[in-house]
Structure 1
Amino acid sequence: MRILTVNVGTFEPSEHTGAPGGSTGIGKKPVDAPVRVSSPGPKGVGGSGLAGDAIGDLRHHGGDTQAVYAYAREDLDLWERELDRELPNGMFGENLTTEGLDINGALVGERWRIGEQLLLEVCSVRIPCRTFQGRLREPGWIKRFTHAARPGAYLRVVEPGDVRASDTVRVEHRPTHRVTVNLLFRALLTEQELLPEILEAGNALDPEARERALKHLG
């Protein structure tokens, strides 16, 4: 299991974002140099966990529970076949494009040691938005992405460190519950009857997801 590329974005104008100034950082591209990763701060204030990576809409993106976004090259390859087009690393706005790692089968609270220093924890999922659809320029993309339930994972930073392409990834901790990235995504978007189950993830669960589950329980 390894990091294929580390991807960062710069601010670009977009007609599809509601961010102040109409800019987005979704256009991530691979970089060669090591990138420092650390906790960015609370959502709404903190941006990306990767140094030099742009986040356009701090209301909905970035912060400690969305510090790093990871997506598997294997899932990009599936989308390439389904969409019949090339999807380079970073195309989905992911910071880390991985190889050999079952991201959608990862458990909330699972911890990944990347290289020697960096330790990340799975805590949330990517929710498709109109900025994402605008970048892909695929009709009905939000619905299609949602139906596929291959969202990739948001990670919080447990121990800061540098990350670079070719770094190994080791699963250092795997919880005993059964709340996977795929299950969390389906509970939040398509199968609300699963919401009570995501509470099994405990404190590792993103606070916004926990709040939704508790409201569902009444």
Structure 2
Amino acid sequence: MMNKINMKIVNFAIGLPKNMTYDNEKVMNTGICKDKVDEAFLTKEGFLGDGVGDLKHHGGFDRAVCVYPHEHYSLWEKEFNTSLPPAAFGENLTVTNMLEQDVHIGDIFQLGEAVIQITQGRIPCDTINKRTNVQTLLKRIVETGYTGYLCRVLKEGSVMTNSKLELIERHSHQVSVLFGNQLYFHQPTNIEGIKKVLAVEELANRWREKLTNRLHNLSK
């Protein structure tokens, strides 16, 4: 059972959007380059001192906290023969024992003084390729479904790098983040799968809109 497993914060990072140079001389403004911190206060809109560059695709109440499994780092580093920096994917929390296949949309976790709930798998963009200088990393993240995931904040509070991270409540539907990712990216006509994900009331509004439209078009 997950609540018997030692979940741990490996890296805790926040940061406001800043200019990032990529491909030698190109520059873009992005929130993906975050800095390690020891403590930050988590509000319903995210950590104080944290921000996103693209408000259309990132941020908001349903996407206040970004989490990425630490186990994937060694996988990508080995596959691409590279070394990745901390918070390489722009995540706030790099964690152990919380893989996409093992956590569910709607699961609730204690995070220091705060309480968070998983709302959706992350939809990555090519800023990840630019940040890591690995041009096919995004493609592999989508293929595997190892995207990390996003959370809403149910209770605000202070979070420290050594804060306790533990499962409070596993969602009764047990729709894993990995299942949602596979459906979203690779099974656009899976009507039963779409209904299964939509049945989770705690699903992020953006995903609900997209999947509802997808279901509507399939039903025509």
Q: Into which bin does the TM-score normalised by the smaller protein fall?
A: 0.7 to 0.9
Q: Distance in 1 between matches of 2:136 and 2:85?
A: 21
Structure 1: which 5+ residue stretches go unaligned? Answer: 41-48
Q: Distance in 1 between matches of 2:136 and 2:99?
A: 26
Q: Distance in 1 between matches of 2:88 and 2:98?
A: 18
How far off is 1:22 after superposition?
4.5
Q: How many residues were matched structurally? A: 203
Q: Distance in 1 between matches of 2:195 and 2:114?
A: 32
Q: Which residue of 1 aligns with 2:51?
A: 54
Structure 2: which 5+ residue stretches go unaligned? Answer: 1-6
Q: Which residue of 2 aligns with 1:160?
A: 156
Runs of 4+, deviation exceeding 6 Å: none
| 1:70 aligned partner, one-letter code | V
Check conservation: 2:51, 2:59, Cα contact below 8 A.
no
- Residue 90 in 1 paired to residue 87 in 2? yes
Moved more, 62-71 or 21-30: 21-30
How far off is 1:71 after superposition?
0.7
- Residue 37 in 1 paired to residue 42 in 2? yes
> With structure 2 as the length reference, what TM-score do the two structures score?
0.85
| 1:11 aligned partner, one-letter code | P
Name the SS for the 2:207 alignment partner: helix
> With structure 1 as the length reference, what TM-score do the two structures score?
0.86
Question: Matched residues, percent identical?
Answer: 29
Q: Distance in 2 between matches of 1:139 and 1:4?
A: 26
How far off is 1:121 after superposition?
0.2
How far off is 1:199 after superposition?
1.3
- Residue 212 in 1 paired to residue 183 in 2? no
Q: CA RMSD in A?
A: 1.8
Q: Which residue of 2 aligns with 1:11?
A: 17
| 1:199 aligned partner, one-letter code | L
Q: Distance in 2 between matches of 1:86 and 1:185?
A: 26
Q: Distance in 1 between matches of 2:56 and 2:114?
A: 26
Q: Which residue of 2 aligns with 1:63?
A: 60
Q: Distance in 1 between matches of 2:47 and 2:214?
A: 34
How far off is 1:134 after superposition?
1.4
Moved more, 77-86 or 53-62: 77-86
